[in-house]
Structure 1
Amino acid sequence: MLQGRKTLINIFILGIGFMLMFTAFQTCGNIEQTVIKSFNSSEFHGSGYNSMAIIYGVFSASNLIAPSVVAVIGPQLSLFFSGLVYSGYIAMFIHPFTWSFYTVSVLVGIAAAVLWTAQGNLLTINSTDSTIGRNSGIFWALLQFSLFFGNLYIYVQWHDKAHISDKDRQTVFISLTVISLVGNFLFFLIQRIEPEAPPSEASESLLPGDNSESSSVVVSQSLSTQALNAFKKAIQLAMTKEMLLLSVSIAYTGLELTFYSGVYGTCIGAMNQFGEHAKGLIGLSGIFIGIGEILGGSLFGILNQWNRWGRNPVVFLGLATHFLAFYLIFLNIASDAPLAPEEGTDLRSFIPPNVNVALLCSFLLGLGDSCFNTQLLSIIGFMYRDDSAPAFAVFKFVQSITAAVAFFYSNYLLLHWQLLIMVLVGFVGTLSFFVAEWLVVSHQRNSDYDSI
């Protein structure tokens, strides 16, 4: 009973720490391209889209070394030091230089891989087979609240700003840096959990940094061999028919992650037709994205436990939701909005620009994203229960690679071309998910028949 209470407290601390960190970081990502356009400095020539492309590109490659880092220094210190890099990225905007901007972008990509590996490690250590679903839900909900609080702060600060001054920028980023650092130091409150029974070989690998004799043996083994074996296993899983099918859906989540977390907010802030409150609407848009994520994650997490109709209806709902959002965005937002200068764009699309429609689209983007992600996590966790670590490494690799590509082309493509790419990939990804789900269900039925 006492052990269970301690692990639940650890999950809440982990979730609140991530909520504070990503309240700062996701807010930073949402506004940075708009902020960069307002810099009055001839020394700075960076692009927020390029920065995010670098972060996600390095993140994907760094998944290969992250398990070894966590094994050496333990998950708690991994979270703290990775979090410091995130805080450094945010603090860089207080007085930015081009060289520091791109240098820290590379470091954040490495830190992201270590951070999420350590997060999964701690979530596993503090969970049992019967509590892993509950604990994952608690962590997800707390993490998604970061979209709400951070963007609410931006809306309050900027709702009446037609131009972002240096003082406005510094005030916001100093505050975000402090919030991020508070989240980092919360990780030290996570209590150490001792295994109640002698761990198996599999569970020993989930306890890096443990001072016990068994963990010392694990850590003393060749980390390069462990990393190589994990890499080989990930490659094997990536080549399976089911994972190849799911990779198209995963790639789509990377594209739309880029769009809702970086591009769409920039588009809203660039629309002069929205009046002097356009910059503040960036924060309000993020709030509605967060509401959609929280609502969808909670609702579909519950429905997934029943699994009466399978995963396909939820994924189809996500596609329909996103297609509706893309169509309304196409009608409501000017095509040059992603590339507009700091002064914004005076162009209009096919209907008079409407703030309510823009915010409805934000909600639909968050809701649709939760549809895809909850079902992908569910099906991958079900199919690769015994190889979850390399399977989710493939998931993160594919998602971060496509996010990097999307952030790169966001520098050059008009809005309607970006929407077209997501429509095509989303349609093919949904069909491939349907086939993968059918293969899983067929295999499960055959297994049930063989057991009978």
Structure 2
Amino acid sequence: MGSITSPDENLPLVDPNAPENHPKSHSKDVHILSLGFLLVFSAYGAVQNLESTVNDEGDLGTISLGILYVSFMIFSLFASFFVRKLGSKKALLLGTTGYWLFTAANLKPNWYTMVPASIYMGFCASIIWVGQGTYLTSAARSHARDCNLHEGTVIGNFNGEFWGIYATHQVIGNLLALFLLKDGEEGNTSGATMLFFVFLCILTFGCILMCFLSRRDVSLEQPNESSISCFSFVAFVAKSVVTPLFDTRILLIIPLFAYSGLQQAFVWAEFTKKIVKPALGESGIGGSMAVYGAADAICSLVAGRMTSSVSSVTWITLGGSSAHAIILLWILLKYSTTSGVLGMVYPLIMAAALGIGDGVMMTQINALLGMLFKHDMEGAFAQLKVWQSFSIAVVFFLTPYISLHVMAGVMLIALCIALASFFILTLKLEKGFSPR
């Protein structure tokens, strides 16, 4: 696999004659993309963290998130087609509308507003994340080529910057939630309404910022997509879903994809509801998730700077996963809600460790896909979102019926399987095996 870290000269998504291929514009676009996602997810991330507690009547919040991620999973099967059809910039712009609508639905939460908004947001989430992975990797490759830099290092640096800035959304959004819900009664609707209104304003600024991204999606491989037939669409989707499953690399990474979704859903649903809320109260969710976001951001930046090859991805991922393993073992063997200072400190320590693991994992998975799948970035990132959203949806639907300890046990087993599979992939890549 000698081509893994060498610059790819045949880039399907970047027009080498386009004016935005000036080296400075690549960095500028990464800054804009990162800040745009920071604003959008500062609002949505905090909304999602609060869903299971603010909209707890009839488990409306939890079930809405479950529906959202089922929709996310289904539409991810088609996401690569829509991103190719629209171009990643337009996909990013369209994707932001789903987050805006879902947040707006929380101003009047009921089954008739939340369910349709969840379904539509699943579609938007699928295209915005495939578009993000495609756009960021294209920018990194162009920058490496134009500046004659090591491609793997640039991909790692760009992913480190994006995920580091993106992760701080947990700090901003959740601190807003902490202060606006502070001193309010449990389930205080006036405080929640004000919070959601502020989030809508932040989302609007994020949507506007995305408009300033350079277009870098000129497809050189599919000139006739504008007149695509229904049969061609079905064939394209079938190929994008089935073909990657014949690639040994994808099969060996799928367990890691699934675990990355499990650990995120664990934080959003189980951790906030069953560990943070009993110890710190509803308003304390914002503070603990701010700690989570700060640790996530710092580790994303550091991990991105350390990334240069598949080998470095492997060892960095192992280090980040160790933080998760320690927390899961703590929950299984010893943890229980206590009073006093320690009762307040333990959830914050857990939040920091979970943030460290998430920051490392998301940075490294995205960098790895950028290194390995140069000719079908959309398909690779779509597979990531299919398996992530599937595992997230499973957690949200099972949360009302399983205990915290059972969930921690399932997570620990999934983590061991994911790491074992990933190490097998690394060994095979070092031996230079044929991936198909």
- What residue is the counterpart of 2:316 in the other structure? 314
Give the greater-gyration-radius structure (CA).
Answer: 1
- What residue is the counterpart of 2:248 in the other structure? 241
- What residue is the counterpart of 1:109 in the other structure? 122
CA contact (8 A) 2:73 2:389 kept: yes
1:255 and 2:262 aligned: yes
- What residue is the counterpart of 1:80 in the other structure? 93
Which whole-Å CA distance do the structure 1 matches of 2:240 and 2:309 have between them? 31
- The superposition leaves residues 420-450 of structure 1 with CA deviations (integer Å, 9 ceiling, x where unpaired) of 1101111121111111111111117x99xxx
Which whole-Å CA distance do the structure 2 matches of 1:126 and 1:226 have between them? 27
Distance 1:269-1:357 versus aligned 2 partners, 3 A rule: closer
Cα offset, 1:223, TM superposition = 7.3
Q: Map 1:252-401; keep pairs closer than 5 Å.
A: 252-271=259-278, 274=279, 278-305=281-308, 310-330=312-332, 348=337, 354-401=343-390
Cα offset, 1:234, TM superposition = 4.0
- What residue is the counterpart of 2:414 in the other structure? 425
Higher relative CO (CA 8 A, sep ≥ 6), structure 1 or 2?
Answer: 2
Which whole-Å CA distance do the structure 1 matches of 2:249 and 2:90 have between them? 35
Which whole-Å CA distance do the structure 2 matches of 1:333 and 1:178 have between them? 39
1:26 and 2:45 aligned: yes
1:92 and 2:105 aligned: yes
Which whole-Å CA distance do the structure 2 matches of 1:264 and 1:133 have between them? 30
Distance 1:380-1:7 versus aligned 2 partners, 3 A rule: closer
CA contact (8 A) 1:332 1:349 kept: no
Distance 1:224-1:27 versus aligned 2 partners, 3 A rule: farther
Cα offset, 1:174, TM superposition = 0.8
* Normalised TM-score (structure 1): 0.81
Unaligned runs of 5+ in 2: 1-18, 145-153
Which whole-Å CA distance do the structure 2 matches of 1:145 and 1:63 have between them? 25
Cα offset, 1:222, TM superposition = 4.3
- The superposition leaves residues 393-440 of structure 1 with CA deviations (integer Å, 9 ceiling, x where unpaired) of 222211111111111111211111111110111112111111111111
Cα offset, 1:129, TM superposition = 5.3
Cα offset, 1:125, TM superposition = 5.2
Cα offset, 1:114, TM superposition = 1.8
Unaligned runs of 5+ in 1: 38-43, 206-214, 335-347, 448-452
Question: Which amino acid in structure 2 is aligned with residue 5 of structure 1?
Answer: K
> CA RMSD for the aligned pairs?
2.9
Report the secondary structure of 1:47's partner residue.
Answer: helix
CA contact (8 A) 2:296 2:359 kept: yes
CA contact (8 A) 1:88 1:104 kept: yes
Q: Map 1:126-205; keep pairs closer than 5 Å.
A: 126-127=139-140, 128=142, 130=144, 132-192=155-215, 201-202=220-221
Aligned pair count reads: 406
Identity %: 23
Which whole-Å CA distance do the structure 2 matches of 1:154 and 1:350 have between them? 24
CA contact (8 A) 1:13 1:187 kept: yes
Distance 1:224-1:304 versus aligned 2 partners, 3 A rule: farther
1:6 and 2:6 aligned: no
